[in-house]
Amino acid sequence: MNKNFFDNNKVLTSNLVWFISLLPVLMFTSYKNGFLLASGGFLKTINAFYYLYVPILIIIFSYLFEFIYYKLFKKSNLVNRVVNSSLPLFNVLCFLTMGPNVNVFVIVGVIFLVSLLSKLVKVNYICLFKLIVFLILMFYGSVSNANILQSTYNNGFGYLDLFIGFGISDIGNSTLFILCGYLILCFDSTYKKDIPIISLLVYILFGLFLCYINKFTLNNLMINTFNSSLLFILVYVASVSIYSPVTFKQKLIYSILIGIVASIVINLLNMVILLYLFIFLYSIYLCVFNKKYK
C-alpha cells in the first residue's frame, strides 16, 4: 500500500476512526439484544449475530451502491469517490437509531431511499432516515423498543443499568459505550468534539432549571438522560461534520439550541424524535445559508 494512502484519502481515514468508535456500541447491543437472549432460549444462536453481520452487510451494500452510482453518473475519479464515500458510515449510524424490533426490510428499504435522496439534497442524512422510519411506523402502528427478554420480564432499571444501556431504548443507546466512542472520535481531527460537550452541558443546566421550577424531578432528569438516546444523538448525529456549522460562533449557537431543545422534548414532551426533527431542519437552514453566501 502507498505510504501516503491515508493522507490522500482523508474521508476514508475519518470513516475508519468512526467505525472503530462504534465497535463498543455494536458489541454491547449484540450482547444485550442478541447473545443475552440466545443464552436464555429467546433467540436462535445464529440470530444472536444479527447486530454484527447487518452493519457489515450495510457497509458492503453502501459501497456497492456508490460504485454503481459513480460508474453511471460520475465516471471520473471513480475509485477515489467510492473509497472516500461517507455513505457506508451514515447508513450504519441509521441502523443504530432503530429499535430492536424494527423489520430489517423496512430499514434496508429506507436506507436505499435516503441513499438516493442524498444525491439530490444535502441535509442531515441520519435524521432524514429516522424521520421517514418514524412516519412509517406511526402509519402501521408503533413498535416497542423492548426486546423479547425485556417484554417477558418487565423489571425496573436502576441508574447503573440505564447508564450501561440495559434500558428499553434504540439499539445504539448506551451512555457508557458511547462515551468510549466519543474518546476514540477525539483522535479524528475533523470531528467537532465541542458540539456534544456544549450541548450536553446546556441540556443539563436547562434541565436543572426545569427541575427547580417543578416541571419534573431530578430522578426523571437522570432517567431521561441515560435512556433517551441523547448521547448517541449528540455524539454521532448532531456532530457529523458535513451537516453541522463550521465556525466556533455558529457551533456555539447550534449547540446551545440543541441543548435547550433536547431538554424540552426529552424531559417535558418525552418525544426524542423532535430532536431529530430540529437537527434535520437546522441542516436545511445550513444548506440554504451556505448556498446563499457562496
State pLDDT tens for residues 222-236: 999 998 899 999 999
**pLDDT tens per residue across span 130-168:** 999 999 998 887 777 877 777 766 667 888 989 999 988
Mean pLDDT of 13-39: 93
> How many residues does the structure list for the chain?
294
pLDDT, position 42: 83
Q: pTM score, two decimals? A: 0.93
Q: Please tell me which residue, 253 or 11, carries the higher pLDDT value.
A: 253
Question: What is the grid cell recorded at 133?
Answer: 422510519
Q: If we measure between CA atoms, which residue out of 213, 214, 211, 236 comes closest to residue 224?
A: 211
- The CA–CA distances, whole Å, from 156 to 35, 42, 150, 167 equal 21, 20, 10, 9
Compute the mean pLDDT over every residue in the chain, rounded to the nearest whole number.
Answer: 89
Instruction: Return d(Cα 3, Cα 281) in angstroms, integer.
Output: 41
pLDDT of residue 171: 93
Question: Shortest CA distance to 48 belongs to which of 100, 109, 108, 121?
Answer: 100
pLDDT of 291 > 60? The answer is no
- Which stretches of the chain are DSSP H helices? 5-8, 10-30, 36-39, 50-73, 78-83, 87-96, 104-117, 125-140, 148-152, 159-164, 175-185, 194-212, 218-226, 230-232, 248-263, 273-292
**Nearest Cα residue to 227 out of 102, 106, 99, 49:** 99
Q: Flag the least confident range among 35-39, 41-45, 114-118, 283-287.
A: 41-45
